[in-house]
Chains A and B, each alone.
Chain A
Amino acid sequence: MAPGAPHLVVRQVSKRFGAAHVLDRVDLTIARGELVTLLGPSGCGKTTLLRLIAGLESPDAGSVELAGRDITRVPPHRRNVGVVFQSYALFPHLTVYGNVAFGLKSRGRSRGEIDAAVGRALSLVHLEHLGARRIAALSGGQQQRVALARAIAVEPDVLLFDEALSALDRKLREEMQVELRRLLREVGATAIFVTHDQDEALTMSDRVAVMFAGRIEQVDEPRIVYARPATLFTLGFVGLSTRVSGIVAGSNNGRVEVDTAVGRLSAIGNFLIGSPVVVAVRPEHVRAAPETAGNCVAGRVRSIVFHGSNSLVEVDAGAATTLLAQIPNDVSAPPRVGDEIRLCWPVAETFAFPMPEAGA
């Protein structure tokens, strides 16, 4: 199959538990060798989507194709999908070797093949010396690696990770993110990570699928998800932003003029005059330097959080509006709490989104 051709195709998949619509017509297409993250808040349906792909749940509607085969009704043991569970789900009655060999035995491989494949998988995760260990005698990080080796050993068509790193402490988690990405590249795996941690999503994946309330809101490269969020939810879930609501007063060629409580702002977007919208900007585009073009708002510095090379400055612009600015710490006169300052940012980095309906 050509690289980039669809390898896993989830088509119009819906799932309900009782009255709750947990997945609502989800579409997702993943190419061979791609690493994709499902990112979203707890309860938005990420695990359910992963379980549907693994065959541990069956969809009410829609289909799943893997490696050119419709697997919608295929039971999990005939899908060739590898899963790394959040709790690792290692078999406590088996050794490290026994765990990694488990799937190979199910597939009826010969003794020699199993030995070779287990050896390969364990050396990929740097645990070749621990084959005889009992699971209970491993650290959390080692258990994580065994779970990974067990899933890789059978060379699955797709690897699924459900919050697989979330049980590790922060430092180990960050190391594992980098190592896991390198390792998956090395074996050419196609993988889906489920996470609610945006840093993990942005670090690990080729593309991020942002999920909210059973729907995929946007699927894009990490930098695009961050810089060009498709929805207000994505904007708020990935990274920091300033958001101001207002009414469209003028619209022209993909640019709108919006009347807000802190004055008239220009933004990118297409809306009818009179539409209620939310105008937003990322803090790193907001400057304290006086500018002539773009959007400008004055206010009083409420707090400053030091972040090394820059500081995150919170500015009270009145009318219950707070602006966030990320100011480099190399400027000659850094702002101080209580200072009156003027913040400006380019129109090209200002987004407008439709105002969410009440209650949404």
Chain B
Amino acid sequence: MSARIAITLAWLCAIGAVVFLLSPLLVIAAASFSPTPVFDLPVGGASLRWYARIGALDGFWPALSLSLQLALLSTALSLVLGTLAAIALARGKLPGAQAIATALVSPLMMPGLVLGIALLQYFRAIGFNATWSALLVAHVVVTLPYVARTMIAGMVRFDFTLMEAARTLGCTYAQAIRRVMIPALAPSFLIAGLFSFLASFDNYPVSIFLTDVRTKTLPIKMLQYIDEAPDPTLAALSTLILIATIVLLLASDRLVGLHRMAGTGD
């Protein structure tokens, strides 16, 4: 009896938390259809006029392009580096493997502000002042822990006998990686890549220290828009990003699921 009450309470808490977390998103989405130029709920009829204005925002396209470049490149770099590190940690009998793994993942636990200031000072000290490259390096630092964490977990569970089986069946080591390790770890790669992409795309606290007047990422630009002209265009943009994220998540869920189910090709 008391167990049922506890379970009911737990459910209520969970639902409350979900509502609390999701309602701002719903409000933003609703506001983006507002017919008036104030952040308001669209009571009298919806409008798509703010969506049409997104592209006209000052400096929007360069910011979007920069953010996408950084997210894609830092994710690609982190996937390669993180996977290699995970293989070394899971396979090699490295002394202090546990400590190395912890160090790799530690930026996750560090406040972004601290990381941003540290990187800024470090880049200044070594005279590294190419904004775009500095941002890319910083985003690799931000995304690598996500990839490393997921890939180490995947690699520890990966049965390396599969690689030996592939080799006795006619694969070179490289072919065994391509035909067995990568597909068997596909879910890990996908999840790692997804988290990494999102972590880079919406990073604010680290990027803010490394941008200059002409090179700004989308989140930084968005905050600037809010300061300059707070109208529902920003709500429309946020809603689009939200939809894109949801589509990405659903698609990858489908991909992993479908891949598992089909499983004939390799």
Binding site for B on A (CB under 8 A): 54-56, 75-77, 79, 81-83, 85, 87, 89-95, 97-98, 102-103, 105-107, 132, 134, 150, 154
Number of interface residues of B (CB under 8 A): 25
- B264-A94 in contact (CB<8A): yes
Given contacts A85-B164, A85-B165, A87-B159, 9 further A-B contacts (CB under 8 A): A77-B167, A77-B169, A77-B172, A91-B162, A91-B165, A93-B184, A98-B265, A102-B179, A134-B260
- A82-B266 in contact (CB<8A): no
**Whole-angstrom distance between the Cβ of B209 and the nearest chain A Cβ:** 42
**Do A102 and B183 contact each other (CB < 8 Å), given the known contacts A85-B161, A89-B161?**
no
Q: Which of chain B's residues 216-256 have a Cβ closer than 8 Å to chain A?
A: none
How many Cβ-Cβ contacts under 8 Å join chain A to chain B? Answer: 81
**Do A107 and B162 contact each other (CB < 8 Å), given the known contacts A93-B263, A97-B264, A134-B263?**
no
- A75-B172 in contact (CB<8A): yes
**Do A95 and B159 contact each other (CB < 8 Å), given the known contacts A89-B165, A102-B166, A106-B170?**
no
**Do A106 and B169 contact each other (CB < 8 Å), given the known contacts A89-B159, A93-B184?**
yes
Return chain B residues, CB-CB under 8 Å to A75: 167, 172
- A77-B164 in contact (CB<8A): no
**Do A89 and B170 contact each other (CB < 8 Å), given the known contacts A97-B264, A98-B266?**
no
**Do A82 and B263 contact each other (CB < 8 Å), given the known contacts A89-B162, A91-B162?**
no
- A93-B183 in contact (CB<8A): yes
**Do A98 and B168 contact each other (CB < 8 Å), given the known contacts A91-B180, A91-B184?**
no
Cα-based distance from A132 to B264 in the complex (angstroms): 8
Return chain B residues, CB-CB under 8 Å to A87: 159, 161
- B159-A94 in contact (CB<8A): no
B261 is an interface residue with CB less than 8 A from chain A: yes
Can you give 21 A-B contacts (C-beta < 8 A)? A54-B168, A56-B164, A76-B164, A76-B168, A77-B175, A82-B168, A83-B165, A85-B165, A89-B164, A90-B165, A91-B184, A91-B266, A92-B184, A93-B259, A93-B260, A93-B263, A94-B264, A98-B263, A98-B264, A106-B169, A106-B170
Binding site for A on B (CB under 8 A): 159, 161-162, 164-172, 175, 179-180, 183-184, 186, 259-261, 263-266
**Whole-angstrom distance between the Cβ of B119 and the nearest chain A Cβ:** 39
- A95-B168 in contact (CB<8A): no
**Whole-angstrom distance between the Cβ of B37 and the nearest chain A Cβ:** 53
Return chain B residues, CB-CB under 8 Å to A93: 180, 183-184, 186, 259-260, 263, 266
**Do A106 and B266 contact each other (CB < 8 Å), given the known contacts A85-B161, A93-B186?**
no
**In this complex, which of A77, A97, A150 has the most chain B Cβ atoms within 10 angstroms of its Cβ?**
A77
